[in-house]
Amino acid sequence: MTRPDTIYHGRWAILALAAVLACQPGRSAPVPTPAPPKPVGLGAGQSIDRARVLAAGRAQRYDENPGSSLKAVLDGGVQATIEPDEGAYNLAEGTLDEGVVVARFRNEGDTPLKRLGLIPNGTTFWFIYRKDKQLMSAYIADAESGEYDVVDVPTILHPPTRPWRQSVAQWQLPGVIGEKVGAMRMLLSGGQQPWVSCANMGCCKPQS
């Protein structure tokens, strides 16, 4: 006949073993690396083919997670979110020359903001391309009309401090160094500008 204390201790041993096994790290499936966005290309005479940009922008996947994307209040109280393409950080630098949608802007309200191509309650795609040896940005509104489109914005590609592990996009205040005042320099800031990890070793932003 089995003693009650033996059964009691046996149950505790089973529970302890289950707890230990539950704390063991499991093997999860590796997360696939997002594919970089496909180049759109430019039309004749280095023009932007609006229909192709819109088709590409609508088909791509964007990282909506806070930290990768950012919502901010822009000029005049316009609330807008910038979201990077999930694989934009994997782009080869030379691919930008061919024209690529790297991010999208979402206007959260009904007030437009023309300098960024923001239509009321709509989406705008950030398209980067090279024209006459200069890297450029275009903000193409997802609308039938190109009324709000902004093109040929000179753009800077600069290196990050370390290789990217994911796509990141932000709104940043551009800074313009003014005249020296005593030991200080006046820093004049304008409206927020988009910034995005646009290559495996690069970040893009419009020139201030």
Of 3, 170, 162, 181, residue with least CA distance to 72: 170
Per the structure block, which two tokens stand in for 74?
Answer: 């822009």
Residues in Cβ contact with 125 at an 8 Å cutoff, skipping those fewer than 6 apart: 53, 54, 56, 57, 101, 103, 104, 105, 139, 140, 142
pLDDT in tens, 123-161: 999 999 999 899 999 999 999 999 999 999 999 998 867
Q: Which of 115, 118, 102 is nearest to 164 (CA)?
A: 102
Give the chain's count of helices (H) and strands (E): 2, 11
Which two structure tokens, joined as six digits, stand for 23? 């704390």
Q: Which residues in the chain come in under a pLDDT of 70?
A: 1-31, 160, 174-190
Run of H or E residues at 57:
helix 50-59
**Which residues does 32 contact at the CB level (< 8 Å), separation at least 6?**
none
